[in-house]
Structure 1
Amino acid sequence: MLKQLLLALKRLLRALGPVLVGCIFLGAVYLLYREISKYSLADIRMSLAQISTGSIILSVLLAIINYIILIGYDWLALKGIHKTLPVSRVSLVSFVGQAVSYNFGALLGGSTVRFRFYSSWGFSPMDIVRLVLMLAITFWVGALGLVGAIFMIAPPEIPPELGMHMPLDIRPLGAILFLIAISYLIVCKFIHKPIHIFGKEFAFPPFKIAVAQAVVAGADLVAAGACLYVLLPPDAHVSFLQFLPTYLMAMVAVVLTHVPGGAGVLEVVILHLTTASPQAVFAALLCFRVIYYLLPLLLAAVIFAIYEVRQQAIQESGVLHDAGRWMRAFAPTIMASAVFGIGAILCFYVVLPVSPERLAQIREWIPLGIVEFASMATGVAGVMLLFLTRGIQHRQRAAFRLAIAMLCIGIIGPLLHSLSWFVALMSLIVLLSVLSIRRKCCRPSSLWKLHLTPSWLFAIVSVLVCSAGLGLLIYHMDPSDPVLWTSSDYAADAARLFRTFAAEALLLICIAVGYMRTAPIRKRWNAVRRFGRRNKQ
């Protein structure tokens, strides 16, 4: 009886998980919208312009240092479960795993990437579970210890809106958090026998590894916080010691909510807890997203593309090592993540208005009709790429060919729409990376037979909701306004975006109709109807 109850509870939690994450995400988006709507786009643009080139370069260097530190997570986890791997493999799985996990979270493959890597190297499922548990413990020991120490040494100021819900002196809270981290070290020092949890055996790591876990996690969080801090303007009047607790609490919130990429959650927490100007903080967060999240994901795709090309040359010569086989097996998954990322970028890109300087150049060089068409084509291509990622992950030929066409639009569209060479360059990088796996995408199955998981659908909806919300935030569009349908001018960004949204909505309707006609969905719907009839009887 107890076993059946636990199984039912497990199924319920598994079903409610995506729903809870979705509610948290929508709440974070609403709070972010309410906070940012107080400021104009010109204020945010001015804050972005105030970020110096030196600050961006320093942030990139800190991000590189941080990703090097992140290798220590997997290295210590392997030591904790008494396994060894070459440094090159540990570095690879750490970088790719973190790049995917930071952008898509555990819901969309952060843990799956590690599972596929380690299982291909001969690790048993239990070994991988213990390793992932060690990774989580490393983060929490470092986070709790660092937050507790800062709360005790230099407690941050509590915002007025939170002062009524929190004690004015948070030093006792810091002491409690610090003691929790210290307790883990004490347990590792004096308990050497394994313990049993839910019938599974777990052993605490040696004391030296436990101390190294706290040091590595602390260094990781400090480096990541510094990567964002250097992007803040000099007149923010916030010291790093004052900013670090805010970043730590934001990262803890991101980990607890499981929202992919921490979308909205990271921004809301930092905006509410920092004392700097909100528009400057939001601009720094946008730049931080590109440096710390997007660029590593693109780099991971490029690494796999280069490796794929080399392995194809080796295969043609008749030699292919085991390392080449497992590396090539993960290429479609990584490329699918990169395609999803560039699709999201295109969806957000069409929302942003064109700068006055580029608008003057566009008036001279590009006809208005082409600009209008490029905007709609870019938005439609972004939405299509979001849906095609599952097909690429499953190596479908049709999804691969459509993705190539959409990526070509993603290169040409931004150039014709606003002369955006940066977005076009990112699309080109992803296109070349995806072309490297053309031989793997050979399955002839139909796109409509592809199963879209709830987590993947949630990620797609998240991107579309956020991009639409950003458009409403910038332009305050009213669908009943006839000007949005009829206005046609180089400076009519709102009308152009509204027509792009209409094209995207039409595409979504076509996709929904296509999936509703497929057999798997009909079977599920018929099963639901039969279940309802039985209950009525």
Structure 2
Amino acid sequence: MPAKQNWMKWGKRLFTVLFIVLIPALLYSLARNLDWNEVRESLQAYKLSTLLIGLGIAACSYVVFASYDLLARAYTGHNLPARQVLPIAFVCYAFNLNFTTWVGGVALRYRLYGRLGLDNGTITRILTLGLLTNWMGYLLVAGVVFALRQVKLPDDWAVGVTGLQLIGVLMLAVVAGYLLACGLATRRTWSIRGHELTLPSLRLALCQVALGGSNWLLMAALIWWLMPGDVFYPSVFGVLMISCVAGVVAHIPAGLGVLETVFLALLSGQLSQGSLVAALLGYRTLYYLIPLMAAVITYLVLEKRAKSMRQQRASDAPQR
């Protein structure tokens, strides 16, 4: 058994390394033949109203994602108010997108929630519920799009439309199984690789799937909004779903190059490469960079507030 586990571990590492090498090579090949003048002209053609609406879509997505932590509050039973939970969730999401899950999703949550008095066990349950919410929502909406054959794949892709459809059906089956378990299972606590998972109520699970799916739909809506012409929204959404999986496999911060490579490979037949790259640059600015700048400021405020709270507690402590 250990030999098999070692083989799987090295296999995953090799696959990841190959993926990391392949993505820059493909991106370089595409960028070398790209008309950068067209990219510049496409960026300059954006109206202020278009960008403001796009920023509004991004803000809605961040609000939805931050609400995951409100679900986690109901799940864990901690009593931190929403005015403390939502800023932490916002900061963690922005850092998560730009600097990987370990920085934003894990390290910052433990630091910020810990300073507000939550123990590690509660913070771990918050993390677990957030991950489940995100990926159950992904499985639902991606499963629907894949199962309905809304993504056009190149002819030379090994998976094929039928294969992607079967993957979509499997995704929906996983979501259905999760909801059934939350609603009907008599055993509520499960041990997975040494970690205990307590199933939420069916009502909470339905909220998870709804919020998780809504966030992915909003992310795709932002990219679609920035694209010129009449592009089929389900196609944009399906390509985003594929690129997100590729980004997770590659472990590249912010999925740099991965998102662009997948979109150029799958949508270059519907749009010119220049306008497509311009839309993706606009997406990264509105969804990654601007929220990150706001998150840095928010983080500094949270740190200053936490320092003041510690000083207040120290001054209120009984003097010996």
Does the alignment reach a TM-score above 0.5? Answer: yes
- Residue 321, structure 1, aligned to residue 315, structure 2: no
Distance across 2 between alignment mates of 1:154 and 1:59: 27
Residue 177 of structure 1 pairs with residue 171 of structure 2: yes
Task: Find the counterpart in structure 2 of residue 513 from structure 1.
Answer: none
Query: Contact between 1:188 and 1:206, CA under 8 Å: does it hold in 2?
Result: yes
Q: Kindly tell me: are residues 156 and 198 of structure 1, through their superposed partners in 2, closer, same or farther at Cα, counting changes over 3 Å?
A: closer
Match of 1:100 among 63, 79, 95: 95
Measure how far apart 1:34 and its partner are: 0.9
Q: What are the superposed Cα offsets for residues 14-65 of structure 1, whole Å, 9 maximum, x if unpaired?
A: 9x86x87565333212111111221232122122223332221111010111
Alignment equivalent of 1:248, drawn from 237, 241, 265: 241
Q: Which residue of 2 aligns with 1:34?
A: 29
Cα distance in structure 1, aligned partners of 2:223 and 2:165 = 25
Query: What is the alpha-carbon distance in structure 1 between the residues aligned to residue 28 and residue 17 of structure 2?
Result: 16
Q: Deviations over 1:78-109 (max 9, x none)?
A: 32233332101111111000010100112444
The answer to whether the 8 A contact 2:179-2:205 is kept is: yes
Identity %: 25
Contact 2:260 2:280 (C-alpha < 8 Å) held by counterparts: yes
Greater RCO (Cα-Cα under 8 Å, separation 6 or more): 2
Give the deviation of 1:120 after TM superposition.
2.1
Asked if 1:264 corresponds to 2:257, the answer is yes
For 2:227, what is the secondary structure of its paired residue? coil
**Greater C-alpha radius of gyration:** 1
Letter in 1 for 2:179: L
Q: How far did residue 270 of structure 1 move?
A: 1.6
With over 3 angstroms needed to count, the CA separation of the structure-2 counterparts of 1:198 and 1:45, relative to structure 1, is: closer
Q: Which residue is 1:49 aligned to? A: 44
Q: Is it true that 1:227 corresponds to 2:222 in the alignment?
A: yes
Question: Where in structure 1 are there 5+ consecutive unaligned residues?
Answer: 326-537
1:288 maps to 2:283 = yes
Report matched runs for 1:82-161 at 5 Å.
Answer: 82-153=77-148, 155-161=150-156
Query: Helix, strand or coil for the counterpart of 2:160?
Result: coil
- Matched to 1:140, the amino acid is W
CA distance in 1: counterparts of 2:204 and 2:71, whole angstroms: 7
Amino acid at match of 1:171: Q
Q: Structure 1: how far apart are the matches of 2:242 and 2:311?
A: 39
Report if the CA contact (8 A) 2:91-2:298 is conserved: no
- Contact kept in structure 1, 2:16 and 2:249, CA below 8 Å: no
Q: Which amino acid counterpart does residue 78 of structure 1 have in structure 2?
A: R
- C-alpha deviations, 1:112-140, integer Å up to 9, x for none? 00111122233332332222222111111
1:192/1:204 contact within 8 Å kept: no
Label 1:301 to 1:276 Cα distance change in 2 as closer, same or farther (>3 A). same
Q: Over aligned residues, Cα RMSD in angstroms?
A: 2.9
C-alpha contact 2:66 2:89 (8 A) present in aligned 1: yes
1:104, 1:110 within 8 Å by CA — same for their partners in 2? no
- Kindly provide the amino acid, as one letter, of the partner of residue 143 in structure 1: Y
Q: Which residue identity lines up with residue 173 of structure 1 in the other structure?
A: I
1:197 paired with 2:184, answer no
Gaps of 5+ in 2: 314-320
**What TM-score do you get using the length of structure 1 for normalisation?**
0.52
Letter in 1 for 2:160: M
1-side partners of 2:201 and 2:311: how far apart? 31
Pairs within 5 Å for 1:66-465: 66-153=61-148, 155-162=150-157, 164-168=158-162, 170-193=164-187, 194-234=189-229, 237-274=230-267, 275-305=270-300, 320-322=308-310
SS in 2 for 1:276: coil
Q: How many residues align?
A: 308
Counterpart AA for 1:241: P
Code of the residue aligned with 1:276 in structure 2: it is L
The secondary structure found in structure 1 opposite 2:40 is helix
Give distance in 2, aligned partners of 1:323 and 1:202.
36
Deviation at 1:323, TM superposition (A): 9.4
Structure 1 residues 13, 108: CA separation in 2 closer, same or farther (over 3 Å shift)? farther
The 8 Å contact of residues 138 and 213 in structure 2, kept in 1 or not, is answered as yes
Question: Is the 1:25–1:264 contact (alpha carbons within 8 Å) kept by the matching residues of 2?
Answer: no
